[in-house]
A and B are shown apart, each in its own frame.
Chain A
């Protein structure tokens, strides 16, 4: 796999994670989540077979579609406004996200040297960046959908890191179940929130 594609995948993952951190438009957030899964899939391709890399992609896309359909079903999906002027909160989160990315970029060579010497630099950058940005999202937002997106992103970043360290069919199956469960928990929260609103 070419180096350029790997770098582009890392950039895609970072952009999607920052969009999810900054924007509060559910349609845009779910599209960013789906694109993020594609970025993670491309990064995983550098390490594993096409079949093994496809499993998390399929599970992730499936969960994103399920969340999307639930939002439509509960009438909570508003028309996306991608060019709406940012609020002060969004600007703050964007700055925090950028600072986190810079921090991760500076820190990854040290982490690689000290802890994960056998893991590729860009893979490590993508996974640790995704983990850091999703943790930031989990700390900054309280709405159920954002928490679930944050947790799915965190898990995605962690899985990316872990596949570079260890491969096991059982572990892959358990991760798939965990992702599915997390997505379904998100659906459950959304349905409950709608019940509450009524």
Chain B
């Protein structure tokens, strides 16, 4: 019997380490990583429920468990969808990474990072995953700030806050053990809740502890930031759902879901205002990440109104937007169009580089939830959920969305305004046009046919039976 943790954790981890000496040959490293990521994605998608394949009359069974130093790594069929998503992210970011001026270790370290994120979701007791998140943070440092680039403050802030979060989650783990034996110990519940929530606030950069997000996206290469933050958001949201699923006391706390709705709405409003008032295009990704975290918290808060399905269905539309935004900003930076990263450096971009301008604009429209785009079907459900739950709180949503509309219109104005000085047209390579075109096409096709593309990903929620039973 082949152990599944060996396939999805040990194999990519070892391959990633073995590829480090070949980092100078970026094509080789990235090709190997792309192929492995694609194969692991496909395996996760086609893995049958009985965890066995019959090939040419031979039955090959998979063992879901692997023991390590007395503890367990467990991957069952239910976890396959989230693993497929993580390796899909790695594949889509690695496939064209040789276009960009990123670290030579991008391929190998991204594979190691993906394998570690899978470990985070597979390790038992699952609270030990906090240390692995800290290790992932350390591994991401050479990618975010490779040799030849200055040490910047955002990187240090990221490092410090992530390690603080790890200690909070671990301590909460010890307290949780006490709660299991003393369910009515309310001070213990209060402390553990504060620690868990504060840990996740630091990990995900939730307002008001979000400064590292925009600093990091300003300082580091957008292609790297896009990949690392996308994976971080997916894995940590699922990890947070694990907490809610495993600990009845946490999900039964009075008003916990209402509070999550409110926190999500405040984040959406703050993120929208912050994005609208930004002059740097490079910092914007940090605010988009923040707004998306807000929408996710809001959806979890709306669990009683089907919000959990919306959490799962929003992963793909969000990833397409992140991918397209990261691709266009990274292309603009590497081509020398963004020397300081200010928005006004992009004036008249639509005439000079129509595909790059369109990529940015359509990506933003999708995040806004404009009809016909991939995010619209999911956003519509979330908006309706808020309206059906707390009408007075809609004001936060209105502020957030209105601010983003102002930002989108401002971006459009900058793109089409005539330039004061004539600048040469930015050459757009055919492959660049193809990838941006593909991204926009995906946004529209998923938006028009959401029922073909989105329901599969609700399988991510299969392991959370307790959470679902709480909201029949």
Give chain B residues whose Cβ lies under 8 Å from the Cβ of A169: 69-70
- A-contact 0/1 string along B125-146, CB 8 Å cutoff: 0001001101100110110010
Inter-chain contact B167/A158, CB cutoff 8 Å: yes
Inter-chain contact B163/A142, CB cutoff 8 Å: no
B58 within 8 A of A: no
Inter-chain contact A174/B132, CB cutoff 8 Å: yes
In the bound complex, what is the Cα–Cα distance between A150 and B164 (angstroms)? 12
Inter-chain contact A182/B149, CB cutoff 8 Å: no
A85 within 8 A of B: no
B159 within 8 A of A: yes
B402 within 8 A of A: no
- A-contact 0/1 string along B409-449, CB 8 Å cutoff: 00000000000000000000000000000000000000000
In the bound complex, what is the Cα–Cα distance between A16 and B201 (angstroms)? 32
Inter-chain contact A178/B131, CB cutoff 8 Å: yes
Inter-chain contact A147/B191, CB cutoff 8 Å: no
Give chain B residues whose Cβ lies under 8 Å from the Cβ of A121: none
Inter-chain contact A151/B159, CB cutoff 8 Å: yes
Inter-chain contact B138/A182, CB cutoff 8 Å: yes
- A-contact 0/1 string along B232-249, CB 8 Å cutoff: 000000000000000000
Give chain A residues whose Cβ lies under 8 Å from the Cβ of B159: 147, 151, 185
In the bound complex, what is the Cα–Cα distance between A175 and B130 (angstroms)? 11
B96 within 8 A of A: no
| Nearest neighbor of B136 in chain A, beta-carbon distance | A181
Say whether, besides A115-B191, A178-B138, A185-B141, A147 and B71 are in contact (CB < 8 Å). no
Interface residues of A in 163-198 (CB under 8 A from B): 165-166, 168-171, 173-175, 177-178, 181-182, 184-185, 188-189, 191-193, 195-196
In terms of DSSP, what is the predominant structure of the interface of chain B?
A: helix
Give chain B residues whose Cβ lies under 8 Å from the Cβ of A195: 147-148
Say whether, besides A188-B141, A188-B142, A138 and B160 are in contact (CB < 8 Å). yes
B151 within 8 A of A: yes
| Nearest neighbor of B161 in chain A, beta-carbon distance | A138
In the bound complex, what is the Cα–Cα distance between A142 and B147 (angstroms)? 19
| Nearest neighbor of B167 in chain A, beta-carbon distance | A158
Give chain B residues whose Cβ lies under 8 Å from the Cβ of A14: none
A26 within 8 A of B: no
In the bound complex, what is the Cα–Cα distance between A182 and B132 (angstroms)? 13
Interface residues of A in 98-127 (CB under 8 A from B): 114-115
| Nearest neighbor of B128 in chain A, beta-carbon distance | A171
In the bound complex, what is the Cα–Cα distance between A144 and B132 (angstroms)? 23
- B-contact 0/1 string along A128-172, CB 8 Å cutoff: 000000000010001010010011001100100110011011110
Give chain A residues whose Cβ lies under 8 Å from the Cβ of B142: 188
In the bound complex, what is the Cα–Cα distance between A178 and B135 (angstroms)? 6
Inter-chain contact A185/B138, CB cutoff 8 Å: yes
Inter-chain contact B138/A181, CB cutoff 8 Å: yes
B156 within 8 A of A: yes
B79 within 8 A of A: no
Chain A interface residue number, banded:
35 or more
Inter-chain contact A162/B174, CB cutoff 8 Å: yes
Within the complex, what minimum Cβ distance (angstroms) separates A105 from chain B?
Answer: 21
| Nearest neighbor of B177 in chain A, beta-carbon distance | A166
User: B68, B159, B187: which has the most chain A beta carbons within 10 Å?
Assistant: B159
B21 within 8 A of A: no
B153 within 8 A of A: yes
B150 within 8 A of A: yes
Contacting residue for B128 out of A147, A174, A189, CB 8 A: A174
Inter-chain contact A151/B135, CB cutoff 8 Å: no
Within the complex, what minimum Cβ distance (angstroms) separates A74 from chain B?
Answer: 13
Contacting residue for A147 out of B147, B150, B156, B187, CB 8 A: B156
Give chain B residues whose Cβ lies under 8 Å from the Cβ of A138: 160
| Nearest neighbor of B191 in chain A, beta-carbon distance | A115
Inter-chain contact B163/A151, CB cutoff 8 Å: yes
Contacting residue for B68 out of A144, A147, A170, CB 8 A: A170
Inter-chain contact B70/A192, CB cutoff 8 Å: no
| Nearest neighbor of B123 in chain A, beta-carbon distance | A170
Inter-chain contact A175/B131, CB cutoff 8 Å: yes
| Nearest neighbor of B138 in chain A, beta-carbon distance | A181
B406 within 8 A of A: no
Inter-chain contact B156/A142, CB cutoff 8 Å: yes
Say whether, besides A166-B174, A170-B68, A193 and B131 are in contact (CB < 8 Å). no
Inter-chain contact A196/B160, CB cutoff 8 Å: no
User: B141, B153, B156: which has the most chain A beta carbons within 10 Å?
Assistant: B156
B179 within 8 A of A: no
In the bound complex, what is the Cα–Cα distance between A196 and B164 (angstroms)? 29
In the bound complex, what is the Cα–Cα distance between A115 and B187 (angstroms)? 9
Give chain B residues whose Cβ lies under 8 Å from the Cβ of A158: 167, 170
Inter-chain contact A192/B147, CB cutoff 8 Å: yes
16 CB contacts below 8 A, A to B, read A115-B191, A144-B151, A150-B160, A154-B163, A158-B167, A162-B170, A162-B171, A168-B70, A170-B68, A170-B69, A174-B128, A174-B132, A185-B138, A188-B142, A192-B148, A195-B147
**Residue positions of B touching A, CB distance < 8 A:** 68-71, 128, 131-132, 134-135, 138-139, 141-142, 145, 147-151, 153, 156, 159-160, 163-164, 167, 170-171, 174, 187, 191
**Residue positions of A touching B, CB distance < 8 A:** 114-115, 138, 142, 144, 147, 150-151, 154-155, 158, 161-162, 165-166, 168-171, 173-175, 177-178, 181-182, 184-185, 188-189, 191-193, 195-196
11 extra interface residue pairs, beta carbon distance < 8 Å, beyond A168-B70, A170-B71, A188-B141: A142-B156, A147-B156, A162-B171, A162-B174, A165-B174, A166-B174, A173-B69, A174-B131, A181-B139, A185-B159, A192-B147
Q: Which 3 A-B pairs have the closest CB atoms?
A: A181-B138, A170-B69, A174-B131
